[in-house]
Amino acid sequence: MTDRPQSLKAQNAWLIRAALILHGIAFVYVAFEPFVLAQLSGPDALEKLKTALAPGSLSLAIIVLAKLVLLGLIQARLRDRVIHWRWRYPLPGSRAFTRIGRADARVDMARLEQRYGPLPTQPGEQDRLFYKVYRAHADEVGVLDAHKSYLAARDIGIINLILFILLPGFAWWATGNPERVAVYSAALFASYVLMALAAQVYAGRFVENVLATASSPSGQV
């Protein structure tokens, strides 16, 4: 019996955990001063980290639970809006045939019209047709790679935004240092903005790769 392939979210799990670990280290640094991190230093620091993140460990369980809670705090529609910075029709699939596909030299719009009929111009209809096209080519390497990168950037961006909302208050309570908390808050917000921008780029590339695949003679790019 062959193993079932992991979902893209499962493949990205280690990236989400790494992001949460970095956030934890940064919060400890800000809230409890650098000397607290000295416990993680030394020649056996790597072994300590491996032990803490070993399957079945309490630390790993807490990280997985934190990921589950944080990504569940924002519903899908709002998640798309805060990552793509668009209120109506935030997903790039809603612009797939009027803007994104036409800007990519690899995409043969005439062939797409031959295969799928008149291409829609209304955002909601574009989104629906794009999803249909995507499902037909979801397993292509170029599509998978772009989709995986988009999902990772999107989820980390959401986590960064939620922690920007939650953690500065705890840091203020722990330190009472406005300058330190202000710098920390700015860093958290910047991490959200940068990851949202990365997600937008990967989302556009995902749409481009789907349409390029669907419009190629062989169905591959």
The mean pLDDT of 80-96, rounded to a whole number, is 94
pTM, rounded to two decimals: 0.81
Mark residue 85 as left, alpha or beta (left: phi above 0; alpha: psi -120 to 50; beta: remaining): left
Question: Residue 23: what pLDDT?
Answer: 83
Question: Residue 2: what pLDDT?
Answer: 42
Residue 113 has pLDDT above 90, yes or no: yes
Please give the residue that has the higher pLDDT: either 141 or 67.
141
The mean pLDDT of 79-93, rounded to a whole number, is 93
3, part of any domain: no
Cβ atoms < 10 Å from Cβ of 24:
15
Give the relative orientation of helices 141-175 and 178-215 as an angle to the nearest 10 degrees.
Answer: 170
Residue 78 has pLDDT above 80, yes or no: yes
Question: Residue 34: what pLDDT?
Answer: 56
Question: Residue 52: what pLDDT?
Answer: 47
93, part of any domain: yes
Rounded percentage of the chain residues whose pLDDT exceeds 90: 49
157, part of any domain: yes
220, part of any domain: no
2, part of any domain: no
Question: Residue 63: what pLDDT?
Answer: 63
143, part of any domain: yes
Whole-angstrom distance, CA of residue 73 vs CA of residue 63: 16
Whole-angstrom distance, CA of residue 81 vs CA of residue 79: 5
185, part of any domain: yes
- 5-22 pLDDT, tens digit each: 677 777 777 778 788 888
Question: Residue 56: what pLDDT?
Answer: 46
Question: Residue 70: what pLDDT?
Answer: 74
Cβ atoms < 10 Å from Cβ of 212:
21
Q: Is residue 205 within 8 Å of residue 144, measured between CB atoms?
A: no
> Mean of the per-residue pLDDT values for the chain?
82
- 45-70 pLDDT, tens digit each: 555 445 544 454 445 566 666 666 77
Whole-angstrom distance, CA of residue 74 vs CA of residue 163: 12
124, part of any domain: yes
Number of domains the chain is built from: 1
Q: Is residue 132 within 8 Å of residue 214, measured between CB atoms?
A: no
- Dump strand ranges (E) for 7-113: none
Whole-angstrom distance, CA of residue 111 vs CA of residue 129: 15
Whole-angstrom distance, CA of residue 104 vs CA of residue 149: 19
Structural domain of 136? 8-215
